[in-house]
């Protein structure tokens, strides 16, 4: 589970000098669809315009100057962020990858589809659909839907080539978050 700092936290980034105040989490950069842990503004000036908005990840923080207001409600929000974390398109495993889910102790799954919807009648969208490995497809009732964050271990990474790269690029354009 990822730890997020509370909104209102003031930080300095590695190789930075200007304090930044966090005012949002899990932000998607609209130019390249990359998801960042935080969006921030210059402290003490605050939000001026998009030019003075800064996106960064937790590992980019050098120093925490002040921790924002943390409540039980904020902790619940962080839990929801972790459960609903949107996977970056470029990080999706290729079909043919073999994984073990965190909640499973024995069942390995082979990824057979990405950005799966309506698996088993569920209307939600998942990062992957998969089948049992080594059994393979044995019926629609044994197709699993799961997200990237559900994966505990990757045993094998599927085939990747220029065609897959083009597909991922196209997919990124279709899934503007």
Given a cut of 60, whether residue 166 has pLDDT beyond it is yes
Domain around 94: 89-174
Residue 67 lies in a domain: yes
Cα–Cα dist 46/48, whole Å: 6
Final residue in a domain of this structure, among 58, 83, 108: 83
Clarify whether residues 123 and 106 are in a common domain. yes
Clarify whether residues 125 and 165 are in a common domain. yes
Residue 14 lies in a domain: yes
Count of beta carbons in the 10 Å neighbourhood of residue 125: 14
Clarify whether residues 70 and 96 are in a common domain. no
Choice between 147 and 31, residue whose per-residue pLDDT is larger: 147
Instruction: Compute φ and ψ for 70, nearest 5 degrees.
Output: -110, 130
Cα–Cα dist 38/33, whole Å: 14
Q: What is the pTM of this model?
A: 0.51
Give the model confidence (pLDDT) of 112-125 as tens digits.
988 766 666 666 77
């Amino acid at each position: 589970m990822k730890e997020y700092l509370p909104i209102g936290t003031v930080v300095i980034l590695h190789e930075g000098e200007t304090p930044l105040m966090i005012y949002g989490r899990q932000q998607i950069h609209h130019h390249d669809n990359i998801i960042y842990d935080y969006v921030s503004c210059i402290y003490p000036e605050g939000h001026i315009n998009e030019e003075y908005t800064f996106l960064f990840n937790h590992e980019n923080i050098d120093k925490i100057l002040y921790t924002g207001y943390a409540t039980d409600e904020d902790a619940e929000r962080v839990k929801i962020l972790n459960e609903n974390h949107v996977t970056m398109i470029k990080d999706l495993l290729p079909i043919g990858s073999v994984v073990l889910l965190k909640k499973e102790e024995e069942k390995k799954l082979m990824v057979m589809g990405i950005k799966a919807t309506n698996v088993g009648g569920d209307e939600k969208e998942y990062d992957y659909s998969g089948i049992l490995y080594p059994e393979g497809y044995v019926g629609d009732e044994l197709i699993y839907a799961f997200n990237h964050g559900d994966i505990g271990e990757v045993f094998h990474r599927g085939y990747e080539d220029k065609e897959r790269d083009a597909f991922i690029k196209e997919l990124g354009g279709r899934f503007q978050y």
